[in-house]
Every structure is written in C-alpha cells, then in structure tokens.
Structure 1
Amino acid sequence: MTPAETNVPPSLRTRVRRVAHRGQYDRVTLHALLDEAYVCHIAFSDEHGVHCIPTACWREGDYLYIHGSNGSRMLKLAASGAQVCVTVTHLDGLVLARSAFNHSMNYRSAVIYGSFEAVSDDHKAAALDVFLEGITPGRSQEVRAGNAKELAATTMLRISLAEAACKTRTGGPKDDEEDMDLAVWAGVLPMALSPLAPIVDEAAADIETPGYVREWRDGSAG
C-alpha cells in the first residue's frame, strides 16, 4: 500500500506532533475534507514579508485548484514555483469543559505543502466547470461558459496533494478527574455551515427557479 492509502505521514513536515493521534494522512479523509471547502488560505513569503491570503478553491483528482486575475501578486508568485502552505479548516463545535484550561473546539483541518503549477489553457474551461459543479450541481450546464478573452485573463493553478496531512478533533470535553464533581455545565455547542434562503436577483425574478436552487432552499443540496 502507498502512503496515500495508509495513515503514514508523507513527509517530516506533515507529521502531526502535538496530540499526534488526531493526525490523519489517508486520501479518503483528505478528499472529503477538501470537497466540503469553498475557501482555503495560502501562506507564502516574498520580499515584503510573510502573507496568508484566503481564496476560493476546489479539488479535482489529487490536486487542489485555485484561480484569479493574471495581475494577482499571490498567483504570480505561486506560479513561479515558490513553496507555499495551504490550509483548510472546518469548525464543528465549541467544547465547554468544567475548567477554563480544558475548553476546546471540534474541527477538521488540512495542511498541504508544496508548490503550485500552472493549468494549461486547454484544461481551464473544464476545471472551471468542476468548480461550478462543486458549488451547485447542474450550474455549469446553464450559464454562459467563459470565452477566450476571459480565460486568457485568468490564472489557474493547482497543487498536488502528495504532501498533506489532516488533523481532527471530535467528542466532548476532556476534563481532569478532580474537576468532574464541579457543578458546571459541560458539553459541546455544535456548529455547521448551513444554507439560508436564496436571494433572487431582481432582473431574474421572472425566471423559473432551477432545481438546485430549490434544493438549497430546502436544505437538501450537497
């Protein structure tokens, strides 16, 4: 079995050291976590210092994709092959313990190390379809596709998931034995990213609501 199929860290810098049992290195966990993400944060350094920039992202196969304007400072540097660190985090709950020290959070997070590579022009349109389908399945078949001018003005990059690690926490508070008898409420305040009612653009008010929007409204999307 390859490291991607087992729970073995692919490199020294991906090894989870603090609370090591929370580390996960298998592709199933990583892919599921990334497929729930709309935004990642990209850390990089240049002559002005260290930066961490949020940007839209999506997964296709064993790569994480980003895109933006050709004028983006971050994309220009990333396209040059500079080393970056990409992170994604889902917050699932606030953990309230009997002591202040043992309060925590339930979360799922991923860290990806490496360098981005440019996506060829002949794959940009297909990759953007994957992006749209990840937001709302069926959308790419209805909207106007990007034209040659728009695609030429767009930088699209991808980073391999070969050097990545996940770290998660689940469950309730981990209180010290001597605190268990304290008359203090303890437990978890669950959190989730939940869809709200769609807001129709006024100019589209007379257009029939597509099925994927109704599903979003009903909370059954995804």
Structure 2
Amino acid sequence: MEQLSPTPRTTGTRESERAVADRRRLLALLDDALIAHLGAVVQRDGVTHPVVLPVAFAVDVEGPDEGGTLYLHGSTGAGWLRSALETDVCVTVTELDGLVAARSGFNHSMNYRSAVVIGRARLVEDADERGHALDLIVDHMIPGRSATLRAPTRKELAATAVLAVPLREASMKERAGAPEDEPEDVATGVWAGHIPLRRIAGPPVTAPDTDREVPDDVRSRAAALG
C-alpha cells in the first residue's frame, strides 16, 4: 500500500490541497512524532462521554493488521480501555512545525503535519506479539533501548495493555511555508512571515542513583533530537 486511500470518515472537507496521498509520508510523520492522542466514547456509571488521552505508540508496517499496525500503550486499570474495544476509535498525531503570521487575523495559521487513523482497536493478547509491541514502543522513544533492558515481570505485564489499530483507514494533512494573504492585505505593508519551530533535546541527565556513563543509545537519540 503505497498510497493513502481515505474513506469518507478520513476525508477532509476543507483545505483539500493540504491532503497527503503518499503513505510513506504518513509513516515518516509517525516515525517523527512521540505522542499520539486516542479518542474514544466511554461509558461509566451509566453516563456516556468522549475522552481523548495522550498515549505512547509505535508502528509495525509489517504488522498483522490491514495496512500495518499502530500499537498504543495503555493500562489494564484504565476505565476507558473496555469502551475503546467496543466501538471504533480515532487516533491523531500532530507535529507543529511553525507559527504563521499573516497580515490579518483570519489568515494566521500554523505549519504542521497531522494524521488521523480510525478503526476498531483490538487488545493484543498473544504474548509474543505483545512483547514485540512493547519493545517497539520503547525503541520508538530511544532506538535500540529495549535490547539493553531486563524482561518485564508478570506483575508489570498484568498492569500493561497494548491496543492495536489497523493503519488502513488513515489520512494526513500538512501545511508549510508562508502565509496566504489577500492582495489588499499585502498592500498595507504589515510584516508577514512564519516562525519555524522544532523539537530540541538537551544533554542526557544521569539519574542520581547511578554512576554509569550515558550509554550510546541514549547519546545517539539525544544527538538526533538536538
């Protein structure tokens, strides 16, 4: 699947020129981003309401779900978990790349890359797949990190949930560059432009209860983000 084929649920109704058709650019965004937001409709004490939660995530492009698999980290004690498995969920990922200052308030904007994934989440129960997914989530934060860690305990696994969402039904939009002003606004002479934004990592800070040197995987990740 080299091209995104949005369904009616993932097809935007505005700014269609910002839609991205190349699936590789969606995967690049998911590789760059560190936080996803999971939206679900939950029921608690007879009350139904929406909830949107930040979650750690990772992608397996060769995963068992159609279009690849988006893995989401959760807690088995979370009240939203059961509801998230009963209806389709919406997962969004956004990277903010700049602030766009136009000559009118209406045309102020932001430069961004944003993805929407909709689908039925499944609880990952197979031990091998769950272990693979948890390693991917750790390595999405710091590549190569999972290989240096001890295996999770039974207690830790019992407290951890992994949801899998197919990447089949997905869309992406992006905006870049200068503001789009009306000719009469350009003629006013007001300054316009954009402020580029990027995520920057500081040097790793060693925990106070260890005298070990910062390992190569952590140094490399900090350098890549710096």
| Corresponding residue for residue 109 of structure 2 | 104
| Corresponding residue for residue 54 of structure 1 | 54
Q: What does 1:60-139 align with in structure 2 at a 5 Å threshold?
A: 60-61=60-61, 62-79=68-85, 81-119=86-124, 120-139=126-145
Change beyond 3 A, Cα 1:104–1:196: same
| Corresponding residue for residue 172 of structure 1 | 178
| Corresponding residue for residue 203 of structure 1 | 209
**1:106-154: CA deviations, max 9, x gaps?**
0000011111012122221122111122211221121112123322332
Cα distance in 2 between the residues matched to 1:173 and 1:20:
17
Q: What value does the CA root-mean-square deviation take over the aligned residues?
A: 1.8
Cα offset for 1:214? 2.3
Is 1:38–2:43 an aligned residue pair?
no
Change beyond 3 A, Cα 1:221–1:95: closer
- In structure 1, list runs of 5 or more residues that go unmatched: none
Cα distance in 2 between the residues matched to 1:128 and 1:161:
18
Change beyond 3 A, Cα 1:84–1:162: same
Q: Percent identity?
A: 42
Q: TM-score, normalised by structure 1?
A: 0.90
Say whether the 8 Å CA contact 2:87–2:120 is kept in structure 1.
Answer: yes
Off by >6 Å, runs of 4+ in structure 1? none
Cα distance in 1 between the residues matched to 2:197 and 2:209:
35
- In structure 2, list runs of 5 or more residues that go unmatched: 62-67
Say whether the 8 Å CA contact 2:102–2:108 is kept in structure 1.
Answer: yes
Q: How many residues align?
A: 215
- SS of 2:224's equivalent in the other structure is coil
- Could you tell me which amino acid in structure 2 is paired with residue 60 of structure 1? D
Q: TM-score, normalised by structure 2?
A: 0.88
**1:169-205: CA deviations, max 9, x gaps?**
111010101111222221110111211122210111x
Cα distance in 2 between the residues matched to 1:216 and 1:154:
25
- SS of 1:156's equivalent in the other structure is strand
**1:14-49: CA deviations, max 9, x gaps?**
112201111124321111111112211111112331
Match of 1:141 among 113, 136, 147: 147
Cα distance in 2 between the residues matched to 1:148 and 1:46:
28
